[in-house]
Amino acid sequence: MSTRVGLARVILLGRPNVGKSTLFNRLLGKKVAMTDAEPHTTRDVLAETCRFGDYRFELLDAAGFLVSPADTLAQSIKRGLDAAAATADVVVLVFDGREGLLPLDRELADFVRKFKKPVLPVVNKLDSPSLVDAAADFYELGFASDPTPVSAANGFNCRELLENIVGELGAAAAHEEGAEDARAGVAIVGRPNVGKSSLLNRLAGTDRVVVHESPGTTRDAVDVEIEFQGREFLFVDTAGIRRRTRAKERLEVWSLGKAFAAVRRASVVALVLDGAEGPTSQDAKIAGYADRHGRGLVIFVNKTDLLGEARGDAAVEARIRDVRAELAFASYAAVLTGSALRGAGTDRLFPAIIEAEENRQRRVGTGELNRALRAAMDRGKFKAGGKDVGLLYGVQIATEPPTFHLFLNVSKPPPPGFRRFIENRLREDFPFVGTPLRIVFRLRGKRGNKK
C-alpha cells in the first residue's frame, strides 16, 4: 500500500496561529480548513487539490509546529508532520510578520531542513505597504528562496506565492484533468473516540492523522490517498459525530457539517463502532444517514480485543448479533471485527470496500432480472386492494445505488412486506452485499393506465 497517488504535494508548515489555514483557504479559493483564534484548531493534515491556471497540485495544511516533549498530543501531531513533510515535494514555511522571528520559528526551520526539500518562506499578516519591510528579518534563516510577504486575510501577494510554488514544482505540477475521478471515495465515520484515525493510519501505513485518547481530536475531514493492489482510494477521516444537542461549540458544529458532507461525497462509508461498548442509537443514525444517501456501507467493529480473552469468539459473535439487531435496516452491510491498534482484522477492510463499491455500480440485464422476479413471485402471495399482486415486468433504471422500477397489475400500493420480500429475493439472486437498493413500484390506473 502507498499513500502517494499522482499529484505533486505542497505542504504548509508553521507554528500555531500564524495563519496557515487562512492561507490554505485563500490559495484554494474556498473555505475548507477551520480558522479560529484557538491554537491547534487544525490538528490533522488536510489535503485538497489546488488549481492555478493549467497547473494542479495537492496542497496540505498541517497542524501548528510545537515543541513539547511531555505533551502526548504534541508528540502525535509532530509524528503526523514528519510523515506528511516526508512525502511533500515543496515546503511552504509560514511565519507571522507582525510578531517577527521567534525562537520557535528557528526550531521549525531546523526541523524542515532534515527533509532536504525546496523551501519557500512566507511571511504572513503583512496587509499594508508599511509592514512589508518586516519580511527582511526572515532572511537570516538562510533559505535559498527569498521570504515572500503576503496577507492571507486579504489576498495580498498570494498570486505571486502560487507562481513561486508552480515554478518550484515545474512539470510535476502539470496533471491531466480528471485523473482523480477514478479514485473510490471512502468516508470513515463514527462516534468520537472509536478509533477512526487509528484505523486510517493502519490502512495507510503511516501516522497521517493525529491519534490521541481525548475525544474529538479530529475536527476536520481529512483526505488521505491510498493505493491498494493497483487501485486508488481517497479516504476521508471525519470528526466524531455527536448528537447536535451536544455540539454547542462553534468548532464542533463545523465538524459535524464536515463529517456529514464527507458521507455525501463518498461512494462507500466505513462505519467504525466501539466493540467494547457495543452499538448505540447514534451509530444507527449514522448508518441511516449513509443508507438514505445511497452510499455503500461497511461496518468495522473496533476494539473487540477488549471483550476479554476468556470469552473469546463467543463474545465477538454476540457483539456481531448486537450490531445486526441495532442496524437491522442495513442488513446488507458487511460486518467486520478487529483492532485498529493491533492491526487485527484490518486486512479484510479493503476487499469489503471494493465489494461494496462494485456492487453499488452493478447493473442487471432486463431479461435476467425478470426471470428472477417471476421466480420470486411464485414463492410469495400478496394482496393490494383485495387483488392479488402480480408483476408485469421490471427494469433497472440506475446504479449508485442500484434502482429498480417494478410495474404491477394493481392500482393500490402493495403492503410494506412486499418491498422487503422483493429486496430479499434480489439479494439472494444477485451480489448486492454492501449496497442499499432502491425499489419503486409503478401501479396500474383504473382504466389500464400506469401511474
- Beta-bridge partners for 222: 237
In a domain, 450, yes or no: no
Ramachandran angles phi, psi of 272, nearest 5°: -100, 125
**Final residue of a structural domain among 173, 191, 226:** 173
Whole-number Å distance between alpha carbons of 308 and 237: 28
**How far is 60 from 11, CA to CA, in rounded Å?**
4
Q: What is the pLDDT along the chain (451 residues), one digit of tens a residue?
A: 334 446 788 999 998 889 998 999 999 887 765 554 444 444 467 888 888 877 888 898 887 776 655 566 566 667 777 777 888 899 999 999 999 999 999 998 998 898 889 999 999 998 876 778 888 889 899 998 889 899 999 888 898 899 889 888 876 776 545 444 456 789 898 888 888 888 988 888 876 555 544 444 444 556 777 888 888 888 876 655 555 554 445 544 555 556 677 787 789 999 999 998 999 888 898 899 899 999 999 999 999 988 865 456 888 899 999 999 999 999 999 999 999 989 999 999 999 999 999 999 999 999 999 999 999 998 878 988 888 899 999 999 999 999 999 999 998 999 989 999 999 999 999 999 999 999 999 988 654 445 5
Q: Is the pTM of this model over 0.85?
A: no
Residue 382 lies in a domain: yes
What is the Cα–Cα distance from 111 to 106, expressed in whole angstroms? 9
Residues 247 and 113 in one domain: no
CATH assignment at residue 229: 3.40.50.300
- Domain membership of residue 277 (yes or no) is yes
Examine the domain organization and report whether 164 and 232 are in the same domain. no
* CATH code of the domain containing 415: 3.30.300.20
Same domain, 155 and 221: no
Q: Which amino acid is at 370?
A: N
CA distance 122 to 372: 64
- Radius of gyration for the chain, computed over Cα atoms and rounded to the nearest angstrom: 26
What is the residue range of 72's domain? 9-173
How long, in residues, is the chain? 451
Domain check: are 24 and 140 in the same one?
yes
**Domain-located, residue 449:** no
Residues 325 and 418 in one domain: no
If one counts the domains in the chain, the total is: 3
Return phi, psi of residue 83, to 5°: -65, -40
* 216, 168 Cβ separation under 8 angstroms: no
